[in-house]
Amino acid sequence: MKHIILAFFSFILTAVVFGQQQEIDSLKLLILQSKQQDSIRVSNLLNLSYAINNVNSDSALVYVEKAMELSRQLNWNKGIALSNRQKGLVFYHKSDYFNALTCWQNALASDLSENNKLFEASVYSNIGNLYADLAEYDKALESYEKFLGISKSEESPKDELIATFSIATVYTEQGKYKDAINKFLRAYDLAEANNLDLYIPTICNNLSKTYSYLSDNEKAIKYLNIGIEKAEKQNDIFTLALLKRNLAEQYFNKDDLTEAETLLQESISLSQSYKTLEREAQSLRLLYQIYEKQDKFKEALETHKTYISLRDSIINEDTKAEFVERSLTFENQKQKALADEEIKYQKLIKNGSILGGSLLVMSAIFGLIVYKRKRDAISKKQKAEFSATVANTELKALRAQMNPHFIFNSLNSINDYISKNDANSASKYLTKFAKIMRQTLENSNQKEITLQDDLQLIELYMQIEAMRLDNKFSYSIEVDEAIDIENTLVPPLILQPFIENSIWHGISKKEDKGHIKIQIKKDNDMIICIVDDDGVGLNENKVNSERISLGQSITKDRIDIINKVKKTNGTVVIKNKPEGKGVNVEVKLPLEIAF
């Protein structure tokens, strides 16, 4: 839930983003010029760690470690507590939740002679955010309630507002929409009563979202308009772009497409001026849907091209960062598991030395304990490595599910129909293309979907490719009567790479028309999926072999994971048919039933 909690502070972050580097440079200069080893230097190091954390968390960790070391040399308990709080934030930014929580617990345990209630409140807020990220909502609420209690007792309206808002976001995640609305309204009242208008646009946005869950669209629109008015007065462009996009969605749902289009154009313009690519992409996607609904095919095409290009650039950066971060987290978990077991092992050795081996039975027990702990450590390491493999393979599978060339070639085909004034073909093509893109995006987070949904998606894909190739091939889909396609589950688009290969490296290379046959059979507790084509085969085109190798590699990785998780024996077998008259691919999967 990090994206929800952090969204509340987005206006604060964006307000200082352009001055951030200047602040970092200024703090570095202060630290460089001052040689005094005192509490002021500690504060400067902590401020630098905080400022640089969003840019370079590794450097942030170095600076907070220096602050911690100096605080200990000075025997300054407050500095140690502040360092623990900041160090926890750095680990939190790295998604190292275990160490983050440890640091914050150490911060709370610090012995501070002065009143430290608001300091405690800030730490409880951080702990609440961490548990909310992990969907541990009861623990998150427990921390947020402590944060709220201190804020009230210390008469700090701003902290009370933030705590109340945080509780409301958790209620929203739990589906307690009425409770969430009451808390959001309380936060709204606190903002109005205490001259904290800066917070109102974001509160209004979340209020609107929660009212939408209750299908109260009128109140959703009401609070979006209030938020827009406040954001315009504050010149809060970042939040204003989001509010206008969300208001456009409300009008889109009411079929007021003209008003929705106007708001989206304004949102896109604001996002571009502030260079917020994700906001712009969200607005472009909705604008494309509006043009599609209005039968404005040319505008829909151009908007979708822009959206795809922008989305891919965002995904490339986000995926790269996320995967590196995830890999680091797995590595931390592996190293920690091994380190913990080694410490326990050394303690056991020490205790064993004291006993001196006087009892053979005790020695045997000791040996068994050491063996078990070592085995468990290795098991944890293997589990972490396997989790990393799963994440990597799922990422590759998602990228492979729909070839970028297919997307752009499809858009160009639509453009070609439009330029030839073939509105009917353009409409048919665009409708199919929109369906397949929508379904692919929806399936991207699913490990399994029904066989019926997957076959419909595959058929759409083949229909689009057949249109592009002027119906150069036909296809057939045969499903064993013993298979319930509505309740049988399969990994999404697992056959698509092989069908793509059949079309573009098999049938497209032959002079006459071709045919692709897809068969789904049942064999005891396994399901067999066959892709059979009458193309040129493997030998006549070396590129073909490379293409099959790529598709086979990704699919085999996915099936290897399925085999390990479900302890089955799934396989992929690719055969060149006699006399080079096509290719036969057989994918064997465990039979999974939804109900």
State the CATH number of the domain containing residue 47.
1.25.40.10
Residue type, 95: S
* 167, 145 contact by CB (below 8 A): yes
Residue type, 328: L
Q: For strands 473-479 and 488-490, give the pairing.
A: unpaired
Q: Which of 26-35, 345-354, 571-580 is least confident?
A: 345-354
Three-state DSSP state, 54: coil
Q: Indicate whether 230 and 241 sit together in one domain.
A: no
Burial of 372 from C-beta contacts in 10 A (0-12 / 13-18 / 19+): exposed
CATH code at position 492: 3.30.565.10
Distance CA 373, CA 365 (A): 12
Q: Indicate whether 225 and 324 sit together in one domain.
A: no
Q: Indicate whether 420 and 461 sit together in one domain.
A: yes
- pLDDT higher than threshold 60 for residue 359: no
Q: Indicate whether 173 and 45 sit together in one domain.
A: yes
- pLDDT higher than threshold 80 for residue 95: no
Q: Indicate whether 255 and 335 sit together in one domain.
A: yes
Q: Indicate whether 38 and 153 sit together in one domain.
A: yes
Query: For a pLDDT cut of 70, what percent of the chain falls above it?
Result: 73
Distance CA 280, CA 285 (A): 9
- pLDDT higher than threshold 90 for residue 124: yes
Domain span at residue 256? 236-349+368-385
Q: Indicate whether 285 and 147 sit together in one domain.
A: no
In the listed set 234, 265, 296, which residue is the last one of a domain according to the structure? 234
SS3 of 542-576: the string is HHHHHHHHHHHHHHHHHHHHHHHHHCCCCEEEEEE
Q: What is the pLDDT of residues 412-437, one digit of tens each?
A: 666 666 666 677 777 777 778 778 77
Q: What is the pLDDT of residues 287-338, one digit of tens each?
A: 988 988 888 888 888 888 888 887 766 655 544 444 444 444 444 554 445 4
Q: Indicate whether 298 and 209 sit together in one domain.
A: no
Three-state DSSP state, 577: coil
**In total, how many domains does the chain have?**
3
Tell me if 400 is assigned to some domain: no
Cβ count within 10 A of residue 71: 23
- pLDDT higher than threshold 80 for residue 469: yes
Mean pLDDT, residues 116-125:
90
Q: Indicate whether 240 and 226 sit together in one domain.
A: no
* 100, 86 contact by CB (below 8 A): no
User: What pTM does this model have?
Assistant: 0.55
Q: What is the 8-class DSSP label of residue 471?
A: S
Count the alpha carbons within 13 Å of 47 in the hemisphere toward its beta carbon.
17
**Separation of first and last alpha carbons in the chain:** 30
Beta bridge partners of 586: 530, 573
Q: Indicate whether 240 and 218 sit together in one domain.
A: no
